Amino acid sequence: MSAQRENLASDVLIIGGGLSGAMLAAQLLRQPGQRRVLIVEPRRELGRGEAYSATHLGHTLNGNAARMSVDPDNADDLTAWLGHFIAAGGWPESAEQQVPVAELFAPRGLFGVYARQRLAEAEAIGSQQGSKLEHVQAEALDLTVGEQGVSVSLADGRTLRATRAVLATGMFAAARTTRLSDNALNTAAVDPWDIQAMQSIDADGRVVIIGSGLTMVDAVVSLQAAGHRGLIEVFSRHGLLPHERRQPPAWEDFLATDPTLRSPLQLLRALRGQCRTAQQQGIDWQAPLDTVRVHIARLWSQASERHKRQFVRHVRPWWESHHHRSPPQGAALLARLVEEGRLRIHAASLQGVEIGVDGQPVVTLRFRGQALVERLTAAALINSTGIEYDWRRVARSLPQNLLQRRLVQPGPLALGIAADEGGAVLDAEGQVSRRLFAMGPPLRGLWWESTAVTDVALQAKALALRLAGAGD
């Protein structure tokens, strides 16, 4: 390869410039010493990624400002930023929520502005001590590891080299990710966030949504914004909707005072008891549930393989609907459409998708508790099945090449990839890499909750400290 096609000399190369990659870069730039940091990210702006590239004001965070700081040392950072932003005339629609700034549910696109500004501030601090951040706007296709460092091949033909690389690939949203096992689902489905595409759907036609989690809430918001007036039918295996996120009062951290709670089943029983006690006292059941978050990583990591499988198989749907709750605006829209008869929720599993002779999607479903399957024709189909964490099923060059090269192995229960507690990747033989690291959603199997802003912020700080202190 010619010198013009090769770029050397970087200390840390971050693959993925969404929130995870941007937060890690910001933490690295704030560390003492000089270093060159490269971020490989196809999008024009860093810090947004899949989650925060939304532009419609109705696509909001599912946590209020007090829960969404990118600064692991200052829980009020987003609250303070929003306060100044609103005072300067930004986001005038915030007044409609009629709550203090800390309780606001901000648009996800606005959160992307916040994340980008915090990264820019870190860049300024880093430049004062000789550190530099560069954004390489391209897609990483492959990676090799040698004694002296790593080489990353890009889609445009370039090769980048660095002492160490970090997989901060973020989330592979099922709606935007081609999966190796997919049939016609992705080709027939409309993007849940593409309001313009939804405007071409028959406004009075039936829309079928597969999946009933937070992506579904976004899809319904998008349909409403596009002027859709027809029936919306939502299908998921258990037919569970996300609960509305409320602002409950503080509750005693019962897990901190009871170290005997170790298995998912023990936790579930104790949590149910705490929620019943809260309700008997006239307190929102979400109060005890919210104390669990800080313990999730510990509880998951110490659980046995059998307990983890039991949790994923039997508890996960209820955990997702209770823990990953809907912002109030989205929950209110869903409740109104259900009351009007325009939104129906069904417990059914998807059996297949095909395109009918009239060009409309035909969905085959098996309803819960029934043996027979039913075929349903819709004006449009939306895939809202959430996130694909199993890298073996993601038809993207980088994860497939890393698996084929045996540089990574699937994480516990095939959730993400395996790594040690500090984020160093484990190869197919279980060897801990000195050159390749991971953070955020790829570590889902290691920590279970590895996607929330606060969790990723803590990982970014810890990994930055490790990388800054590591020798060659």
Please say if the pLDDT value at position 268 is more than 50.
Answer: yes
Residue 9 — very low, low, confident or very high, per pLDDT cuts 50/70/90?
A: low
Give the angle subtended at the CA of 69 by the CAs of 63 and 70, to the nearest 5°. Answer: 125
Distance of alpha carbon 28 from alpha carbon 298, whole angstroms: 26
Structural domain ending residue among the three candidates 306, 323, 340:
323
Residue 179 — very low, low, confident or very high, per pLDDT cuts 50/70/90?
A: low
Do residues 372 and 287 share a domain?
no
Distance of alpha carbon 12 from alpha carbon 240, whole angstroms: 42
Residue 312 — very low, low, confident or very high, per pLDDT cuts 50/70/90?
A: confident
pLDDT in tens, 12-40: 999 999 999 999 999 999 999 999 999 99
pLDDT in tens, 375-393: 999 999 999 988 889 999 9
User: Helices 214-225 & 328-340, crossing angle to 10 degrees?
Assistant: 70
Do residues 277 and 292 share a domain?
yes
Domain-embedded: residue 451: yes
Domain-embedded: residue 308: yes
The pairing of beta strand 150-154 with beta strand 343-355:
unpaired
Do residues 190 and 332 share a domain?
yes
Contact 394, 403 (CB under 8 A): no
Contact 393, 379 (CB under 8 A): no
Name the strand (E) or helix (H) holding 447. helix 444-447
DSSP track, 106-144 = -BHHHHHHHHHHHHHHHHHHHHHTT-EEEEE-S-EEEEE
Do residues 10 and 34 share a domain?
yes
Q: Mean pLDDT across the stretch 239-263? A: 88
Do residues 124 and 212 share a domain?
no
CA R_g for the chain: 23
Q: Mean pLDDT across the stretch 288-298? A: 89
Domain-embedded: residue 67: no
pLDDT in tens, 187-223: 778 999 999 999 999 999 999 999 999 999 999 999 9
Please say if the pLDDT value at position 4 is more than 60.
Answer: no
Confidence (pLDDT) at 34:
93
The structural domain count of the chain equals 3
Q: Mean pLDDT across the stretch 270-280? A: 94
Contact 22, 72 (CB under 8 A): no
Do residues 209 and 237 share a domain?
yes
Contact 227, 201 (CB under 8 A): no
Distance of alpha carbon 74 from alpha carbon 20, whole angstroms: 17
Domain-embedded: residue 25: yes
SS3 2: coil
Residue 3 — very low, low, confident or very high, per pLDDT cuts 50/70/90?
A: very low
Domain residues for the domain of 300 are 264-323
Confidence (pLDDT) at 235:
96
Do residues 136 and 48 share a domain?
yes
Q: Which residue matches tokens 């024709």?
A: 377
Confidence (pLDDT) at 229:
96
Q: Mean pLDDT across the stretch 38-65? A: 92
Do residues 358 and 460 share a domain?
no
Domain-embedded: residue 250: no
Please say if the pLDDT value at position 2 is more than 60.
Answer: no
Q: Mean pLDDT across the stretch 399-405? A: 97
Contact 133, 120 (CB under 8 A): no
Average pLDDT, the chain: 91
Domain-embedded: residue 72: no
CATH of the domain at 422: 3.50.50.60
Do residues 223 and 302 share a domain?
no
Beta strands across the sheet bearing 36-40 = 132-136, 36-40, 12-15, 164-167, 432-438, 424-426
DSSP-assigned letter for residue 313: I
The pairing of beta strand 232-236 with beta strand 343-355:
parallel
Domain-embedded: residue 252: no
Least confident of 286-295, 340-349, 415-424: 286-295
Confidence (pLDDT) at 132:
95
Partner residues linked to 353 by β-bridges: 363
Of residues 316 and 118, more confidence is placed in 118
Can you give the pTM of this predicted structure?
0.92
Distance of alpha carbon 359 from alpha carbon 311, whole angstroms: 40
SS3 182: coil
Of residues 182 and 450, more confidence is placed in 450
Confidence (pLDDT) at 7:
56
Tokens of 271: 């949590």
Confidence (pLDDT) at 452:
87
Confidence (pLDDT) at 141:
97
Residue 157 — very low, low, confident or very high, per pLDDT cuts 50/70/90?
A: very high
Spatial CB neighbours of 465, under 8 Å, sequence gap ≥ 6: 27, 31
Domain-embedded: residue 160: yes
User: Helices 453-469 & 19-29, crossing angle to 10 degrees?
Assistant: 40
Please say if the pLDDT value at position 73 is more than 60.
Answer: yes
